[in-house]
Amino acid sequence: MRAQPPVPTRVGPADTPTRVGPADTPAGGRWADAGLISGEAVELDVRAARLGSRVLALLIDVVGQLLCAALLALTLTPVVLILLPDPVVDRAFTGALETLGLVLVLVGYPVAWERLNHGRTPGKLAVGLRVVSADGGPVELRQSLTRALVGVAVEWPGLVLPLLSWVAGVTVMLTDPRGRRLGDLVAGTMVVHTRTTQGWRPAPRIIPPLAGWAATLDLTRLDDALALAVRQYLTRAGQIVEPYRSRLARELWCEVAAVTAPKSPPGVPEPLLLAAVLAERNRRGTLRLRRNRALTATLWPDLHPTTPAAVEPPAPAVEPPAPGPAPAGVRPAVPVLRSASPEDSGSPLS
Residue 60 has pLDDT above 90, yes or no: yes
In this predicted structure, the answer to whether residue 146 has a pLDDT above a threshold of 90 is yes
244-292 confidence digits (pLDDT tens):
889 999 999 999 999 999 998 888 999 999 999 999 998 999 999 999 8
Other Cβ atoms closer than 10 A to 183: 25
Predicted confidence (pLDDT) at residue 82 exceeds the cutoff of 80: no
Measured between alpha carbons, how far is residue 309 from residues 41, 302, 305, 306, 317 in Å?
Answer: 59, 17, 11, 8, 21
Terminal-residue alpha carbon distance, the chain = 85
At 20, the pLDDT band (50, 70, 90 cuts) reads very low
For residue 133, the cross-strand partners are 189
Check the CA dihedral 300-303-307-313 and report its sign.
Answer: positive
Predicted pLDDT of residue 164 = 86
More confident call, 169 vs 8: 169
Report the percent of the chain where pLDDT is more than 70: 73
Spatial distance between the Cα atoms of 105 and 123, rounded to a whole number of angstroms: 15
Query: pLDDT per residue over 323-348, tens digit each?
Result: 555 445 544 444 444 444 444 444 44
Question: What is the CB neighbour count within 10 angstroms for residue 83?
Answer: 9
Q: Tell me: pLDDT of 313 over 60.
A: no
Letter for the amino acid at 319?
Answer: E
Rounded to an integer, the average pLDDT of 154-172 is: 85
CA distance 187 to 144: 8
Position 57: which residue type?
A
The pLDDT value given to residue 145: 94
pLDDT at residue 38 tops 90 = no
Cβ(101)–Cβ(73) under 8 Å? Answer: yes
Going by the DSSP 8-state scheme, the letter that residue 19 receives in this structure is E
Statement: residue 65 has pLDDT above 90: yes
pLDDT of res. 191: 93
What are the phi and psi torsion angles at 31 (to 5°)? -95, -50
DSSP sequence for 75-140: HHHHHHHHHS-TTTS-HHHHHHHHHHHHHIIIIIHHHHHHHHTTS--HHHHHHTEEEEETTSSBPP
Residue 25: pLDDT over 50: no
Pairing of strands 189-193, 129-133: antiparallel
Least confident interval from 137-151, 171-185, 236-250, 263-277: 236-250
Asked if residues 22 and 199 have their Cβ atoms less than 8 Å apart, the reply is yes
Residue bearing the bigger pLDDT, 156 or 19: 156
Does 190 have pLDDT greater than 90?
yes
pLDDT at 22 over 50: no
For the chain, strand residue ranges (E) read: 18-19, 42-43, 129-133, 189-193
Average pLDDT, the chain: 78
**Residue-level pLDDT at 207:** 84
CA nearest to 57, candidates 125, 155, 134, 146: 125
What would the mean pLDDT of 222-228 be, rounded to a whole number?
A: 91
- Separation CA 188–CA 291 (nearest Å): 59
Q: Which of 3, 13, 9, 33 has the alpha carbon at shortest distance from 21?
A: 9
* The pLDDT of residue 67 is above 90: yes
Q: What is the pLDDT of residue 180?
A: 92
Q: What pLDDT is stored for residue 77 in this prediction?
A: 78
